[in-house]
Amino acid sequence: MDVDAAADSACAPARTPGPLRLGTREFAPGQPLVMAIVNRTPDSFYRPGLTWDADAALDRVHAVVAEGADILDVGGVPAKPGPEVTVAEEIRRVVPFVERVRAAYPDLVISVDTWRAEPARAMCAAGANLVNDTWSAWDSGLAEAAAESGAGLVCSHVGTLTPRTRPHRPAYEDVIADVSARVLWLARRALDAGVDPDAIVIDPTHDFGKNTWQSLELSRRLGELTATGWPVLLSASHKDFIGETLDAPIDGRLAGTLAVTSVGAWLGARIFRAHDVRATRQALDMVASIKGDRPPARTLRGLA
């Protein structure tokens, strides 16, 4: 966190919890949303190449919508280190696909996982409603690109990382304070750029710029972020901090993912980025019912 941003964070906006407005959709305060992942890459960290073929990717969209996805998150560049993906190639991978999804689902909220302004503009012109900037405003023009397009923006925290790099011994005096300062500062910048305040989301960004201990601390202290009033995105699906905690391979992390999801839902997170949509939807529904926000689907036990 740079000195100016840290100083400015004291003036960063808090928000009275309200609806989240993305595209043509309005989501009520407290309504948990599932953000389904569809990667247009051949080398994603989880199930690489699953949706590299455009037709397979569209089939995946049909499936996750049927399973209860509220938002679709489309990415054209893997977060992990690897071969360069140029701006032109990122646009080629994502823009025609967003157009196909928008034609098939006129009201579906489409998020695009990009950290560069030029692809973001092209993707929003094709029909995207939300720019999911997982690299914490590395491109300083990204907020303006979202605002110009009428799209929402995810404000994230990555410490000192640059795009597609891994953390090396990250250290924070207080990780949640550092995260809070950064994402609230970015929320203020987004407001200044003209992004709709009802379309700004904050993301502590587990694993990015954090070790496992720090991601675990973010998870148990997530309520400090939700208390700011800004909608919080929780992106934990199959991540390394879960794998290290449970000594589980990538394809063996669903139980840990759902545990983090449930804790996050209890603490007030709003959006849950997920590979396993049906299981995530059920976990969120169960937490909502325990909290008293959702009635059981049926109640026959002890009543017949």
Q: Which residues carry out catalysis?
A: 239, 273
Angle of helix 117-125 relative to helix 87-104, nearest 10 degrees, comes to 20
Residue 71 token pair? 């938002």
Cβ(26)–Cβ(20) below 8 Å: yes
Torsion of CA 214, 156, 122, 20, to 10 degrees: 120
CB atoms within 10 A of CB 207: 22
DSSP alpha helix (H) spans, the chain: 3-8, 54-67, 87-104, 117-125, 142-149, 175-193, 212-220, 223-226, 240-246, 254-266, 277-291
Listed residue (206, 209, 119, 216) closest to 165, CA to CA: 209
Contacts of residue 149, defined as CB under 8 A and 6 or more positions apart, other chains included, come to 120, 121, 124, 125, 128
CB atoms within 10 A of CB 289: 13
Q: Can you tell me the distance from the alpha carbon of 294 to that of 279, in angstroms, rounded to the nearest whole number? A: 17
Per DSSP, the three-state class of 299 is coil
- Phi–psi pair at 153, nearest 5 degrees: -145, 135
